[in-house]
Every structure is written in C-alpha cells, then in structure tokens.
Amino acid sequence: MKILGTGLVCARGRGKDAVCRFTADSSSQPRFVSKDWKPPEFIEVPFQKELFPVYAVAAETLKDKAVLGGMRRADRFSKMATLAAHDAVVDSGIKFENPERVGIVFATAFGPHNTTFRFQDDIIDYGDGGVSPTIFSNSVHNAAVSYISRALGIKGPTWTITGFCDPFGQAVALAQAWLDEGRCDQVLLGAGDECGTVMEYICSQKLPIAADGKVRMDDPPAYVPGEGAAFFLVDRQVGGTQLKIPEKSRAPFFGNTPTGAALDCAAGYLELNQKE
C-alpha cells in the first residue's frame, strides 16, 4: 500500500518537528537529520522511592483548538489519535470527495485505560447510577475512532484492533485487505497507546526500568514507558513510498510502547519525505 500522508504525536512533539531538525553540512546547505536523544520526564510513582522515567506527550501538544475545538470532553488518548489522524490527511493534500469510501483502522494495546480506571473508580465511589455517561463513552476502545470520523467527516467502515501482540501489524493487514477487496479507496491507518499512573506502576513492578532514562534493547534490556499516536493515509497504488514496518525500533527516542512500530514507521516516513 502507498503512503499518501502521515501524522505523528509523541513525547518529542508533533509531525516532522518531532523527529527532524535543520542542520548544515560542510557546504552550509540546510538539510534534515534525526534529532538527538532527548531525556524523558522523571515522575513520582506510587510505592516507589525513586523517580520514574516516562516519555509523555506534553499538554501543550494537545492544545490545537482548530482541530480539537469540538472535543472539549475527550480524553488525552482520543486527542492524541485525532491530531495524528488529522495531520495524516493534511499531509496528503487530499480532500475526500466520497467520504463513504474512506475507512479507518486503529490499533491499540491498552486503549484509553486512564479513562477506564477513572470510570471504575467512580462506580466504586458513587455506584452505578452516579457515574458520568461521558466518562463511560470515552472509556471504550472505539471512542478514538468515533472522534476521528467526526472531526474529519469520514463515513466509511471503521475498526479498532486491540491486542498485546503486534496490534499495528494486524491493523496493516486489515487495511490491505479492505483496499484489495475494493471496500475502500483510502484507509486512514493508525495506532496509539498512552501512559498513566496504573500502567506506570505496573511497568515499575514488571519491567527492568532504565534508571538513567536511556532505553536499551540489548541484553539485558532497560525500558522507559512511552506514549503517542501515528496515522497514515494509504491507498492501493503501487510505487511511491510503501508502508513497511521497520525492523529496528526507535524506542530510545519515543519510549517503549506496544504500538511503537507505528511511531517508528511515521518517523521514518517523515524523515524520508523531508530529505526528498
């Protein structure tokens, strides 16, 4: 499948500014190169004496009123996904003449788990009849796709894939199937996951965390939890930039996340596109 446009939201920022910077070579000509390593935030985690490293998306990154103006009650998870999806469409330069022929496939491992735990806490505190219906609607995995389709006016088929083992790879396969079957002319394909207090605590108990904040994927590994979202607008064309999941992870730049392969693809495409 051919990539028509891409969008990326991560701890380093949004779009090409998150992965590239201008520099000058020996001829003093500006060119794009990968950004240097950026340290994560160090936060407090319950029952932990030491500060905990995490690559979290900055609140300022999620304050685009032009895109998110109608999403005042949406949570961070849906906002990250919507911004990345919006940017992928803008990057393509395409205006959907037939929105019924555009599909959305979104992959996530844990979904909006911060909102899910908040909903469960409210049930404990206030009972079934005292919880907010808005929090409940935002707590389901399909909420992000709902916000995306509304924000972009997409009316084609949508699907959210949830899994702990390569959910983005499964999303790529489904998007390819939709295109091959002629079900859609284009597919907005993406993935995302978020950090949160519960997940950070679980990671601190189950994973070897990099005390210095530097992700290492060798033996033994050292992890730093991360979050973000990436989207691609793709079609069935042959030629141009084809979507391929890279073998080498960029986790040292974005942190470890189950859907990090999508962020890797987006970063690679953005760099390639700028160099061209």
Please give the pLDDT value at position 70: 87
Nearest-angstrom CA–CA distance, 169 and 186: 18
Out of 34-48, 123-137, 259-273, pick the least confident.
34-48
Please give the pLDDT value at position 28: 46
> For the packed helices 113-126 and 197-206, what is the interaxial angle rounded to 10 degrees?
110
- The total of structural domains in the chain comes to 1
CATH number, domain of 49, equals 3.40.47.10
Q: Which tens digits make up the pLDDT trace of 225-247?
A: 999 999 999 999 877 788 877 77
The DSSP bridge pattern shows strands 102-108 and 158-162 to be parallel
pTM: 0.90
Contact between 210 and 58 under an 8 Å Cβ cutoff? The reply is no
DSSP class of 214: -
Label residue 24 exposed, middle or buried (CB < 10 Å: 0-12, 13-18, 19+).
exposed
What is the edge-to-edge ordering of all strands in the sheet holding 186-193? 13-14, 2-10, 228-235, 186-193, 102-108, 158-162
Location of structure tokens 């994927």: 217
Contact between 213 and 225 under an 8 Å Cβ cutoff? The reply is no
- Please give the span between the terminal C-alpha atoms of the chain, in angstroms, as a whole number: 19
What domain range includes position 53?
A: 2-275
Contact between 227 and 57 under an 8 Å Cβ cutoff? The reply is yes
Tokens of 173: 């396969």
Please give the pLDDT value at position 117: 92
Mean pLDDT of the chain: 89
- State yes or no: pLDDT of 35 exceeds 80: no
Q: How many residues are there in the chain?
A: 276
**Would you tell me how many other CB atoms lie within 10 Å of the CB of residue 225?**
25
> For the packed helices 76-92 and 143-152, what is the interaxial angle rounded to 10 degrees?
40
